[in-house]
A and B are shown apart, each in its own frame.
Chain A
């Protein structure tokens, strides 16, 4: 399947032109530009197809939409919970299979909404969207991938897609939870009042934009 090109990372003030969310009558209205909507939906389709297929160890990635480490997809998406490998082995496979089925079902519900250019999301459907956008992102980049932002700035399609998935998910979350958005703004103001710090860690208030994330 061909994948349309995605808009490269842009500062957050410009990202609003490509994706926006607002609350209307208790529902979230998520709107995206056509190209953003098409790519994100494509990534959810790919996620669903992969989750629907048999579990198998992954070959090293040769295309950007393939996951990139030497672990199988289940372990990438649902890593060990118990630090003790013996306990984890006893508990993990069954749990992983259940979670895989749950995320697949969520992806199918999300896809049933139709195109992503304008979606109306009920509060009860929000966990599905958070889950599906997050897992679509984790399929493309490891959780500890520190270089994805740099790759996105160089225009690498997989990294650009990851930053957009993260941006739209953040947009959704802060729209659904205005109290959380308020707390994050408060933190931002406090951090600004404290002035710059010599720390490579992103600021705590960073809601993220495609340029900055993850």
Chain B
């Protein structure tokens, strides 16, 4: 499962949400965040199974993001 975010959140908040949720470094969080903004929709996280992906999505929503879960082709 992939999680994507299409929201017009500010960069700092999206990146911080990724740091808090995915425990990635600042540069990695920023790389993913800029990919989201640059493409309008991009992978911000991936998870092995639906339950794990839903848990990550809920955490990101708590922090104000609007992730969308997409089944990998």
B68 at the interface (CB under 8 A from A): yes
A208 nearest CB neighbor, chain B only: B10
Contact assessment for B61 and A204 in the assembled complex, using a CB-CB cutoff below 8 Å: no
A154 at the interface (CB under 8 A from B): no
| Max count, chain A CB within 10 A of own CB: residue among B7, B11, B29 | B11
B66 at the interface (CB under 8 A from A): yes
B8 at the interface (CB under 8 A from A): yes
- Chain B residues whose C-beta falls within 8 Å of the C-beta of A126 in the assembled complex: 20
Which residues 142-174 in A have Cβ within 8 Å of B in the complex?
143-144, 146, 166, 169-170, 173-174
User: Which applies to chain B's interface (DSSP): helix, strand, loop or mixed?
Assistant: helix
A109 at the interface (CB under 8 A from B): no
The size class of the interface chain B forms with chain A is 20 to 34
A103 nearest CB neighbor, chain B only: B62
- Chain B residues whose C-beta falls within 8 Å of the C-beta of A127 in the assembled complex: 20, 62-63
- Chain A residues whose C-beta falls within 8 Å of the C-beta of B63 in the assembled complex: 127, 130-131, 134
Which residues 52-73 in B have Cβ within 8 Å of A in the complex?
54, 57-58, 61-64, 66-70
Give the number of A-B contacts (CB < 8 Å).
104
Contact assessment for B30 and A180 in the assembled complex, using a CB-CB cutoff below 8 Å: yes
Contact assessment for A131 and B26 in the assembled complex, using a CB-CB cutoff below 8 Å: no
B49 at the interface (CB under 8 A from A): no
Answer whether A143 and B26 are a contact pair too, CB < 8 Å, given A131-B62, A131-B64. no
- Add 13 more A-B contacts to A99-B58, A214-B9 (CB < 8 A): A81-B69, A95-B58, A131-B64, A134-B13, A134-B64, A143-B7, A143-B8, A177-B15, A179-B26, A180-B26, A182-B26, A187-B30, A205-B11
Ordered nearest first, which 7 A-B pairs have the shortest CB separation?
Answer: A134-B64, A179-B26, A180-B26, A173-B16, A143-B7, A173-B12, A81-B57
